[in-house]
Structure formats: C-alpha cells, structure tokens
Structure 1
C-alpha cells in the first residue's frame, strides 16, 4: 500500500487539492498560489493539504515548506497593500466577507502598542492573518517590519510542519490536530517571556 493510501486528509476538498498537486508537473506553483490564497481570502487551513503532501514528497520537503512560506508572504504583501491603498473599498469588503470586524478592531490597538510582536503572534494564533495584513497596511505600519514578523511566524509554522512530517510520518496530521493549539500557545508564551526579559533588562 502506498503512502498516499495510508494517509487520509480530513476533508474531501483537501483530498482533491492533494491529488491535483501530486498529478501536476507544476505542483510547486499551485502550492505557492494556494498558500497566497489561504493568507488572503480562503479560510481553509493549508495544513490539510500541506502535511500529507510533505509526507508523500519527503525528498523535497524543505522546498515545499519554502514555497508555502513564499506564497504566504506574497499574499501578505497583497493584503498589506489593500489595507494601505484600498482599505475603504476592497479592505472593508474583505473584513465583511471574512467576518473580521471584531478581530480587526481589537488588533488595531495591539498594533499601535507593539507592532512587531502583534503581527508575529497573529501569525502563530488562530486569529485570521488577514486581520494583521489589513490593519498594518491601513495604519501605515512599516512594510519591512511587517514582512519580517510575518516571515518569522509563518516560517515557524511551515518549517515546523516539515519537521513534524519527517518525525511522525502519516501520524503527523492527527497529532497536529490534537496538539496545534497547545503548541501554538506554548510558543507564544516563550516569545512573550523572551520579550519581557529583553524589554525590562
């Protein structure tokens, strides 16, 4: 039995995308745009496709993680620009379409208080990342710092998933679903502790 048959993603949609990636000679290009779409307008966790794809294509697992990160940052740059230049029209539509108003309102103040940490933490938590993109752009927050924070947080996510796929193999998906929230909050706790120590010493 093949690795693909041993691993069953949790949704039919994810299975279709996985099959499309496996059959396409342009799989990495498709993955790039999938990651960009997930970062902007598709509220479906990329892990449902990414983890099984990494398990099946272990020989290029780090390339897959890098492409996913690049696609996410591409989508993040688009979202930032929308917030910066088109917030009153397209940006507000995004917020309404994805029901982000509450997240957006609370994130604005956090962004003012400590922008880098705010963006970084949103990249690790279940809070929709679109919130950070639109708010950072609308506030005129430094684009370089925004991309750096997004790259670090999403890099932890994608390269962490690659390491997890290598370590646990076909069991990575179920392990991730059970422990992702706990792991995410543990990382956040360590980041906040390091920030407080650095800030007050």
Structure 2
C-alpha cells in the first residue's frame, strides 16, 4: 500500500471506516505511512481528514435516522421526553466542545457522531468541531513526522496518554473560559 497509486484513496477509506465502524485508532496505520511517504505527508493528513469527515457525516445520519425510527421504543424503555429534552439542551449548549474533544482525544469519534445525530445537533457546527479536532490530530501527527521523522512512532507510543490528557484539559479549560 505504501508505494501504491491507491495509497491516498486507501487511507481515505481507512479513515472513513475508522470514524464509522472500526473502533481502532488510525494512528497505528497513519504514522508509519507518513514516515515512509514524507513526500506526501500533508496530502496524507488532508485525505485522512476528508475520510474522517465523510465517515462522521454518515455516523451523524445513522444517529439521526436510527433515533427517528426507534424513538418510541427508546422513550418507552430508556428515557423520558423530559430527560431527552434536557439532554438535547445540554448538547445544544456544550455539544461543540464534546464533539471537538472526541476529535483530539482517544475518545471514540463514533460516540460524538451518533450523539450529534440523535440530538439533531447543528450540522455546520458538527462539521466545524469535527474538522477542527481531526485537523489538529492528523496534521499534528504530520508535524511530528516532519520534525522527528522515524522517532515519531516511539514518541507517540511513549506520550500518547499524557498528550491526550493535556489536550482534554486544554479543551475543558477553553470550554470553561467560554462559559464565564
């Protein structure tokens, strides 16, 4: 795949699948690919982002239409209209930061895509939050590969959880500052 003419479509498809049905982080594939194909580093990050955004939109639509189909069943056995309305209000006020945080942390993006669809969260804000989070994540990896080359994989393995915790704290701080 690394030297194939289908490398870019393949990484786009892999990213699409990762953001919809495959709960395995794409970084395991992305970092080695970026290391071997530094000549297309930025294009790889871009196509990974595009695939993710397309997959996120599908996840949103699945959440939206599946909830629409199953609404009566869900309201009968899992929640009430009042609880769901409160959840929708919370999503309307804090959804951007929730979606954004799933884009930069190891929290599965599928959780945000389905939740956004179920609550009929603003599609433009959903796309913006998802894009911002994943641009930071994928282009951040590209920057690491650009500067650290073959040592990137080791750095990612070593500092993944620390970096994720730091990213989550930064998102929480920005969210808190916007409330005050």
Q: CA separation in 1, counterparts of 2:68 and 2:178?
A: 38
How many residues align structurally? 164
TM-score (norm. length: structure 2): 0.83
Q: CA separation in 2, counterparts of 1:66 and 1:167?
A: 18
SS in 1 for 2:132: helix
Could you say which structure has the greater relative contact order, defined with CA pairs below 8 angstroms and 6 or more residues apart? Answer: 2
Instruction: List gaps (5 residues or longer) in structure 2.
Output: 71-86
Q: CA separation in 1, counterparts of 2:43 and 2:130?
A: 19
1:100 aligns with: none
2:74 aligns with: none
1:22 equivalenced with 2:2 (yes/no): yes
Q: How far apart are residue 38 of structure 1 and its match?
A: 0.6
1:128 aligns with: 108
Q: How far apart are residue 55 of structure 1 and its match?
A: 1.0
The CA deviation string for residues 171-199 of structure 1, in whole angstroms up to 9 with x for no partner, is 21121011112112212222322332333
**Residue in structure 2 matching 1:71, options 41, 51, 56:** 51
1:151-166 equivalent positions in 2, closer than 5 A: 151-166=131-146
RMSD: 2.0
Q: CA separation in 2, counterparts of 1:32 and 1:198?
A: 34
User: Is 169-178 or 31-40 further displaced after alignment?
Assistant: 169-178
Q: How far apart are residue 59 of structure 1 and its match?
A: 1.4
1:182 aligns with: 162
